[in-house]
Structure 1
Amino acid sequence: MQQDRQREVRVRRADQPGDLGWVVLAHGETYHRQFGWNTEFEALVARIVADYAGAHDPRTEAAWIAEVDGERAGCVFLVSGDEPGVAKLRILLVAPEARGLGLGRLLVGECLSFARAAGYGRVTLWTNDVLASARHIYEGEGFTLADEERHHSFGHDLVGQNWVLDLEPAVAAG
């Protein structure tokens, strides 16, 4: 296999058959292999995906798939938060074999551009401190750590973190 060839990378909406199922499958398998997390995590992702699939407003909520050479390799969701003007970035994932290509930054960038265009003033996210690569992306986009708390989930003792990003309003052309 030739290692130096240019790989085709693209980010698109998660609107093709199989996309939502892939998100659940990829999260379950990846986090089990990497961190030993059990099916509680896969069930959480399945609930997030099911809620999105069942009742999302395409004007204010969206999901994206990153592809490498035509194969799914990552995802991220943006959904409405619990307060007006606040969105939640959810279930960012880059498959291990696609890491190092900048997919995480592309996905988060797409997500934040959409959030600005949809009129959100703030984006929040919940993650765990063991997810260092994702945290590095969030910090690079300007997210700040709001709080953290120890918890036992997915078969492990973890430190959950809440991150916040206040968005600048989108600048209207003209």
Structure 2
Amino acid sequence: MKATLAGTELPASAVHTLIEIGDRGGLTATELCERLNLEKSSVSRMLRKLIDAGELAEGNSDTDGRAKRLTLTAQGRRTLATIDSFAREQVGGALACLPAADHAMVVQGLRLYADALHARRAAKTAGPQTGAAPAIRIEQGYRPGLIGRAVEMHARFYARAHGFGAVFESKVAAGLAEFLPRLDRPCNAVWTALDGDRIVGTIAIDGEDLSSQAPGIAHLRWFIVEDGRRGGGLGRRLLDEAVAFTDRSGFAETRLWTFRGLDAARRLYEAAGFALAAESPGSQWGSEVVEQSFVRPFVRPRRS
């Protein structure tokens, strides 16, 4: 309720503006209105004050000759660094009052709540739709850009959830690069969730990765949904496609590996027939986590 925020002399909307522009490298006033959910007149007045104060600079937009692209000045970057430092100290101080094992739970809870708010706002914007097809479609098979998008979504999510970095991102990229050329074999498949042409979710079944351990074992891999898309049923749709494929293909069982604390994903797995088989501490991904393995036995497809 204070007039200023994050140890600055700026109001909350101005602090949020610097964060959004700094995070994306630049935005137009129209894009900023959409992100802040504020009226154009209010945003225009605030931007003029930030420009006059030396926090922002105006330049030409790469996509719209009529619009101005707003970027941080050197002073703006220093202000943003102060805001980030304030936030780290505040959040770090709060988390220090909790056991380390609960940190991931806090992150996941905040992510679930943010996703729910995003889904509600999207639903209100879209308005009532009777009998309309889902805006996001799911397709099987390779698509250009699949590796890059899947790696990006994994890297961003797990950096926040578990503090993973270059080691994790590199392993995800290497695994996908090895897997995709094997899609011509009927035991392997990948699905993408598409919003238009943009990939917003992925999942795969690797029918060969675990064959050296035992024949007939499928490996569920690279299950991820873009930030802001979770909580609306998209993850369940992807998972349904994958497990239906394993059952049609006659795999004796399907296995997956994940980490403790991802409770929303665990609920999806258990609803699809997976059960926790084992868990143990591990650090192969770049930071210490509790790894979990889940197993789902073959389910005979129903006859129509």
| TM norm structure 2 | 0.53
What is the SS of the residue equivalent to 1:156? coil
Higher helix share: 2
Q: Deviations over 1:142-170 (max 9, x none)?
A: 11111101112333211001110001223
Give the structure with the larger strand fraction: 1
Corresponding residue SS for 2:283: strand
Work out whether 1:86 is the aligned partner of 2:213.
Answer: no
What's the CA shift for 1:71?
Answer: 2.6
5 Å-filtered alignment, 1:37-48, equals 37-48=164-175
- Distance change (3 Å), C-alpha of 1:100 and 1:69: farther
Q: Which of these two proteins has the greater Rg computed from alpha carbons? A: 2
Q: Which of structures 1 and 2 has the larger relative contact order (alpha carbons within 8 angstroms, sep 6+)?
A: 1
Q: Describe the shift of the 1:171–1:84 C-alpha distance in structure 2 as closer, same or farther (beyond 3 A).
A: farther
Decide which moves more: 127-136 or 6-15: 6-15
Match of 2:254 in 1: 123
Unaligned runs of 5+ in 1: none
Q: Secondary structure in 2 aligned to 1:96? A: coil
Structure 2 unaligned regions, length at least 5: 1-33, 35-120
CA distance in 2 between counterparts of 1:43 and 1:68 reads 26
* Match status 1:134 vs 2:265: yes
Report the residue type matching 1:16 in the other structure. Answer: R
How far is 1:69 from its partner? 4.9
- What's 2:29 paired with? none
Distance 1:100 1:34 in 2: 17
Query: Which letter does structure 2 place at the counterpart of 1:38?
Result: G
RMSD of aligned Cα (Å): 2.0
CA contact (8 A) 1:37 1:156 kept: yes
Q: For residues 281 and 175 of structure 2, what CA distance do their matches in structure 1 show?
A: 22
| Residue range with higher mean Cα deviation, 26-35 or 60-69 | 26-35
Q: Structure 1 pair 172/60, CA: closer, same or farther in 2 (3 Å)?
A: farther
1:74 corresponds to which of 201, 226, 235: 201
**Equivalent position of 1:160 in the other structure:** 291
Task: Tell me the number of residue pairs that the alignment of Structure 1 and Structure 2 aligns.
Answer: 173
Counterparts of 1:109 and 1:61 in 2: how far apart (Å)?
16
